[in-house]
Amino acid sequence: MSEETKENVIEGLIADQILYGKKYEPGVKFSYSTCLPPFANRFNGKLALYLMLEHTPEIMCPILSGLMEEGVMPPGLIIFAASGILEPTLAGGEPRGMRTLELDEFSRNFSDFLVEELIPDALRISGAKLDPSPDMHFVAGASSGGTLAWNLVWFRNDSFRRAYLSSPTFAAERGGETILTLVRKTETRPIRLYMTAGTEEPAGVDGSSLYAALNAADTFEYAGYDFRYEQFNGEGHGCRRENPTLWRRIARFIWANWQSDPTVKPLFQPQRISSLLEPGSVWKEVEKTAMPEKMPVRTPKGIYTFSGGKIFLGKQKKVVASGFGKITALAISKDRWRLYVADSKSRYLFALSILPDGSLTQCCKFAPLHLPHDFHQTGATDLTVLPDGRVVAATELGIQGVWVTGMIDLILPLPGDAVPDSVSERDHMLYARAGNKVFCRPLRKEPVSGIGGGARSHLIP
């Protein structure tokens, strides 16, 4: 079928555009289509974005266009995209599908490709002008595409904040099993979700899609996300993902109040966040000189210093601990008898007991830091102790917080997911430096308990 014939079948559809990846997916071939319903042209400059991963244009264009015309969802540009193909470089070679590499991996690489390469190309082809707000951008995907849809709203929250996940795998293929653990601990982001699964989902070596969906529903509720979960008895993987009746329910929830209040917000921040930070606080960039100077770890027996993998005490530089990879920071507990150690070559923060003469003993692996799937930096680059005794460390995922028991219960990303290289506290203000930028946000001055979201139903009756 020619491109001209396809456009006649569905007005506004530009099918089978070819794009080769450059920065993020170099040399990989992608085919995508766009659909701009004719009536939506008068909203040009304020168009919503609908990124449909592995959906059928001939089915979904009429469904979405009809919902737009009814006012259930905002008029917008629809982009249909899928994973790429790596063509052989030698004669006799066979093409390689890139779906697992691109859709299943819990990293931002393919999300960056979509936002920075494919979507701009689609805008160029279609001539559409989008509303720049990420609150007006939506993504939908099934199975591995559901994982990718989550990656987009998570890693590119500056571009997408609404999503439909059909049978998301969240499986142990390329780090997907870590997603929900990190969601529980990371500060809740502005994301609005609809998720579906069937009771006859597949279960394999990489996990069960049904249990993944149920775990995700419980995780999203715990973490304060605005979402709905719908389950279909006796149905399987990706069921009803192109069903018009289901899409009407999806659109009514995802786009509720889009005309009066389009801002996407978390329902609440759970106790791990709200008990530590001032309500409603956000990171604010401040002058570089505002970063508090690091104070040495001082004890009655002298100051602890470090070099390489060794810790020294006093002016005589007596070695009191060794065997670490590369120590980057030391901090002392509020009750002054535990010394915390950051080691850039280990994912662990360590803790040692301080004896009366200043020597150190009882070294233990205090806390295993969380790492991104495609991590570049293993250990913490800095740490400090907050007034409530919590240890906070600067890591590639952001600021990670550890109770004195060794349990990591929170991750505070910096703006733009910048990687902090140092962290400190002064006068109940938390500071973090990432390169040449310094950010701060206020801590609660008094401990607060019992703050959370409370029980609520996320299930569709």
CATH number for position 303 = 2.120.10.30
The answer to whether residue 297 is domain-embedded is: yes
**Around Cβ 85, how many Cβ atoms within 10 Å?**
14
Q: Which of 269, 298, 317 is the last residue of a domain?
A: 269
Q: Which one has a higher pLDDT value, 8 or 391?
A: 391
The pLDDT assigned to 57 comes to 95
Amino acid at 94: E
Reported as a pLDDT band with limits 50, 70 and 90, residue 173 is confident
Judgement on whether residues 317 and 245 belong to the same structural domain of the protein: no
pLDDT tens for 410-460 read 999 999 999 999 999 999 999 999 999 999 999 998 766 543 444 455 665
Query: H/E/C letters for each residue in 208-258?
Result: EHHHHHHHHHHHHHHHCCEEEEEEECCCCCCCCCCCHHHHHHHHHHHCCCC
Distance of CA 401 to the CA centre of its chain: 17
259: nearest Cα among 78, 135, 140, 139: 135
Measured CA distances, 47 to 12, 73, 94, 123 (Å): 14, 11, 40, 11
Separation between Cα atoms, residue 190 and residue 188, nearest integer Å: 7
The pLDDT assigned to 445 comes to 84
Question: What is the span of the domain harbouring residue 101?
Answer: 3-269
Statement: residue 25 has pLDDT above 90: yes
Judgement on whether residues 249 and 288 belong to the same structural domain of the protein: no
CATH number for 126: 3.40.50.1820
Q: What are the phi and psi torsion angles at 423 (to 5°)? A: -145, 145
Reported as a pLDDT band with limits 50, 70 and 90, residue 265 is very high
The pLDDT assigned to 37 comes to 92
The arithmetic mean of pLDDT across residues 240-250, rounded, is 97
Query: Which distant-in-sequence residues (6+ apart) come within 8 Å of 242 by Cβ?
Result: 55, 56, 59, 60, 63
Statement: residue 27 has pLDDT above 70: yes
Statement: residue 271 has pLDDT above 90: no
The pLDDT assigned to 41 comes to 80
The pLDDT assigned to 4 comes to 43
Reported as a pLDDT band with limits 50, 70 and 90, residue 63 is very high
Judgement on whether residues 213 and 130 belong to the same structural domain of the protein: yes
Separation between Cα atoms, residue 294 and residue 239, nearest integer Å: 56
The arithmetic mean of pLDDT across residues 9-18, rounded, is 89
The arithmetic mean of pLDDT across residues 343-367, rounded, is 97
Report the side by side order of strands in the sheet with 391-395. Answer: 382-385, 391-395, 398-402, 408-412
Judgement on whether residues 292 and 216 belong to the same structural domain of the protein: no
Judgement on whether residues 324 and 355 belong to the same structural domain of the protein: yes
The answer to whether residue 263 is domain-embedded is: yes
The pLDDT assigned to 459 comes to 63
Length of the chain: 461
Please count the structural domains in the chain. 2
Judgement on whether residues 233 and 299 belong to the same structural domain of the protein: no
- Which tokens in the block code for residue 206? 């990489």
The pLDDT assigned to 460 comes to 59
Judgement on whether residues 331 and 185 belong to the same structural domain of the protein: no
In the three-class reduction of DSSP (H, G, I as helix; E, B as strand; rest coil), residue 353 is classed as: strand
The pLDDT assigned to 240 comes to 96
pLDDT tens for 83-95 read 999 999 999 999 9
To 5 degrees, how large is the angle CA 446–CA 331–CA 182? 70
198: nearest Cα among 243, 232, 240: 232
**Around Cβ 449, how many Cβ atoms within 10 Å?**
7
In the three-class reduction of DSSP (H, G, I as helix; E, B as strand; rest coil), residue 442 is classed as: strand
The answer to whether residue 84 is domain-embedded is: yes
Identify the helix (H) or strand (E) that includes residue 320.
strand 318-321
The pLDDT assigned to 9 comes to 65
pLDDT tens for 302-325 read 999 999 999 999 999 999 999 999
Q: Which of 246, 269, 292 is the last residue of a domain?
A: 269
Average pLDDT, the chain: 92
Q: Half-sphere exposure of 3 toward its Cβ, with a 13 Å CA cutoff? A: 10
Judgement on whether residues 18 and 159 belong to the same structural domain of the protein: yes
Statement: residue 175 has pLDDT above 50: yes
412 close to 399: Cβ distance less than 8 angstroms? yes
The answer to whether residue 357 is domain-embedded is: yes
The pLDDT assigned to 172 comes to 79
> Over the Cα atoms of the chain, what is R_g?
25
The pLDDT assigned to 455 comes to 47
Q: Which of 269, 296, 311 is the last residue of a domain?
A: 269
Judgement on whether residues 379 and 431 belong to the same structural domain of the protein: yes
pLDDT tens for 97-117 read 999 898 999 999 999 999 999
Judgement on whether residues 317 and 431 belong to the same structural domain of the protein: yes
The answer to whether residue 461 is domain-embedded is: no
The pLDDT assigned to 1 comes to 39
Judgement on whether residues 280 and 187 belong to the same structural domain of the protein: no
The answer to whether residue 232 is domain-embedded is: yes
Percent of the chain surpassing pLDDT 70: 95
The arithmetic mean of pLDDT across residues 373-390, rounded, is 93
Statement: residue 139 has pLDDT above 80: yes
Judgement on whether residues 285 and 372 belong to the same structural domain of the protein: yes
The pLDDT assigned to 43 comes to 85
Query: Which distant-in-sequence residues (6+ apart) come within 8 Å of 457 by Cβ?
Result: none
Statement: residue 7 has pLDDT above 80: no
Lowest mean pLDDT among 5-14, 148-157, 326-335, 359-368: 5-14
The pLDDT assigned to 457 comes to 58
Lowest mean pLDDT among 22-26, 186-190, 194-198, 274-278: 274-278
Identify the helix (H) or strand (E) that includes residue 362.
strand 360-368
The answer to whether residue 260 is domain-embedded is: yes
The pLDDT assigned to 279 comes to 87
Statement: residue 461 has pLDDT above 70: no
The answer to whether residue 447 is domain-embedded is: no
The pLDDT assigned to 6 comes to 43
Statement: residue 273 has pLDDT above 80: yes
Q: Are strands 398-402 and 391-395 parallel, antiparallel or unpaired?
A: antiparallel
The arithmetic mean of pLDDT across residues 189-216, rounded, is 93
In the three-class reduction of DSSP (H, G, I as helix; E, B as strand; rest coil), residue 68 is classed as: helix
The arithmetic mean of pLDDT across residues 386-397, rounded, is 95
